[in-house]
Chain A
Amino acid sequence: MAKSIDVSDLDIYYGDFLAVQGVTMSIKARAVTALIGPSGCGKSTFLRSLNRMHEVIPGARAEGKVMVDGQDLYDADVDPVAVRREIGMVFQRPNPFPTMSIYENVLAGKRLNATRLKKSDADDLVEKSLRGANLWSEVKDRLGKPGMGLSGGQQQRLCIARAIAVEPQVLLMDEPCSALDPISTAAIEDLIHELKSDYTIVIVTHNMQQAARVSDDTGFFNLKATGEPGHLVEFNPTKKMFTNPDNEATESYISGRFG
């Protein structure tokens, strides 16, 4: 499991509007890569382009190369659905399926794809995924209850369990803690630390301390100017980024002297 991702010269468009320009970075396997930057600079757009989720928005497209395990995600013959089975995603707002129980939510990736599982295998997968998401002990007695009945932090961990139940190579997280309280955030950060040994993780965050705490590498995105496309300003190991960044803009952003 776990693959590295090599992005080279990626341009992302919404219709004619160039949203993100010329991103080149290599995301290491079994490591956490954080993407930081001001709102509207294209971090989330870039993240969504890594599993071709941005194409869900009409008119959105990307040019350039995203190589995962020697395959270009943007090759003409690539099926976006197949890409998303390998590269999972956790969203900003917890979004468990409201019609399903906790148990069914975890199995959603399998059930929705009509994969047949034996009852015992399904039970094992649910337990494994929920344990992986640090949620098992809290919900093991009420697996049949609706997923919407959990607290926000629990719902988000349920979504992580759902994402890892399909055993992806890479896990993308789009501000997974921004709707959560500090305790739930800590639970998810611990979880990210544990998941790191098995998955390649890319996380978008507005919280600089969070980036410093959880990530191995950090990418700083910024707009060149208002109305210009976003671009990758600096990509370095997190330690270097937060102590001795190469770029002046990065330093001002990280130290809070932005603008």
Chain B
Amino acid sequence: MTNLSTAPTSSDMAPLQSGHLPRFAPLAVGVLAVAVGVLVGGMALGGGVAGALVLGWLTMIVVLPLWSRVVEGGRKAKDRLVTVGVWSTFGLAMIPLVSLTWTVVSKGYGALTPTFFQNSMQGVLGSGGGIYHALMGTLIVTAVATLISVPIGVLTAVYLVEYGNKNLFSRVITFLVDVMTGIPSIVAGLFAYALFQIFFGPGVKMGFAGSVALSVLMIPTVVRSSEEMLKLVPTDLREAAYALGVPKWRTVVKVVLPTAVAGIVTGVTLAIARVAGETAPLLLTAGLTTSLNFNPFEGRMTTLPVFIYSSIQAPGLYVDEMTSMAWGAALVLVVIVMLLNILARVVGSVFAPKSGR
């Protein structure tokens, strides 16, 4: 008969102590790696900065695990190997981010003057112009797009989670929303362009058309994030409300939505941040102008991304001035998106259910 006993067979317990690398080991190997990289890779082999980086990294990922293997054993060595790998990829991911932020700040900082925020580009040649018109255009177009998208998106999510019951109709909607999430922004722009052409004739450009294009891009994001947030509301809370004799619609409005509002607002803010930087659809629908326009239903309206595009693409005679203004506008756009992200976090923590402890 097979021995199925799981009782311990040997009375000797495995030793619980093992060797340790000193605490400064990763730092020491790091210093060694830098030295090897610079001296051998950079100078001796003549690989320059790239050679130094590659050889330094190789030294790090080989020496530290090997040393650990000798002193600490195989399991710790694997841990060291993976740790080095994780830090390396983290570093790689940070490179474009830091580099982008640095480029935008360093090139755009010089353009930020009071007149830059007060003037439009109307009649401006060379210096003295500003992005006031584009800033207002971005704010108006995005605000109108938000006004269109949020009710549609949130109510769709409410239908899917609270009323859909995974029936055929709601599954079709979910599928279409997923498809819409992936449509290229230029297609959304073409859609809005074609739609407004039907009513206003060919070549129509207005801020509202841009808002419609952006809301086509925003709605799926809002639906998805709101849906996930509504799903997180525990069924217990809905049942608690039903058990008090509260009708379903009141339960949704007064219990489910307030409980999920922090997440929904965060999702909406991130969706706004995403569409605020769209260029292609706005180029088609809202067009380009040098003057200030506050009316989204009449005439062309420039937004920041379109302004940046046109300043680089068609700077005319004053290439230096226009390029510097484009960087300034890019910095403003990045700051707006960052502010929206911070706003999302603040709003999320303000609305989050409190424990009172």
| A97-B255, A112-B255 known; A146+B353 contact, CB < 8 A | yes
The answer to the question of B239 belonging to the interface, with a C-beta cut-off of 8 Å to chain A, is yes
A84 adjacent to B244 (CB under 8 Å)? yes
Residues of A within 8 A of B247 (CB): 81, 113
Count of chain B residues with Cβ under 8 Å from any Cβ of A?
Answer: 25
The residue in chain A whose Cβ has the minimal distance to the Cβ of B245 is: A85
Question: Which one of B165, B240, B245, B356 lies within 8 Å of A97 (CB-CB)?
Answer: B240
**Counting CB contacts under 8 A, is A109 at the interface?**
yes
The answer to whether B75 has its CB under 8 Å from any CB of chain A is no
**Does A162 have its Cβ within 8 Å of any Cβ on chain B?**
yes
Q: Does B357 make an interface contact (CB < 8 A)?
A: yes
Chain A residues whose CB sits within 8 angstroms of the CB of B165 once the complex forms: 58
B234 an interface residue at 8 Å Cβ cutoff?
yes
Instruction: Determine if B242 and A53 form an interchain contact, defined as CB atoms under 8 angstroms apart.
Output: yes
**B-side interface mostly:** helix
Q: How far is the CA of A85 from the CA of B255 in the complex (A)?
A: 17
Indicate with 1 or 0, residue by residue over A148-171, a CB within 8 angstroms of chain B CB atoms: 110000000001001100100000
Contacts of A159 in B (CB 8 A): 240
Q: Is the CB of A113 within 8 A of B243?
A: no
Given A146-B356, A149-B355, also A97-B237 (CB < 8 A): yes
Residue pairs across A and B with Cβ atoms less than 8 A apart, 14 shown, are A56-B239, A56-B242, A58-B165, A84-B243, A91-B243, A95-B239, A95-B240, A96-B240, A98-B237, A108-B244, A111-B254, A112-B250, A113-B246, A113-B250
B356 and A93: CB pair below 8 A?
no
Please determine whether B354 and A81 come into contact, CB atoms closer than 8 angstroms.
Answer: no
Q: Which of A51, A58, A114, A163 contacts B250 (CB 8 A)?
A: A114
Instruction: Indicate if the CB atoms of B236 and A109 lie closer than 8 Å.
Output: no
Contacts from A to B (Cβ < 8 Å) = 51, 53, 56, 58, 81-86, 88-89, 91, 93, 95-99, 108-109, 111-114, 142, 145-146, 148-149, 159, 162-163, 166
Q: A97-B240, A112-B250 are in contact. Are A84 and B354 (CB under 8 A)?
A: no
- A51 to B246, alpha carbons, bound, how many Å? 13
Complexed CA–CA distance, A159 and B239 (Å): 12
B353 cross-chain contacts in A, Cβ below 8 A = 98-99, 146, 148
Indicate if the CB atoms of B241 and A91 lie closer than 8 Å.
no
Residues of B within 8 A of A86 (CB): 245
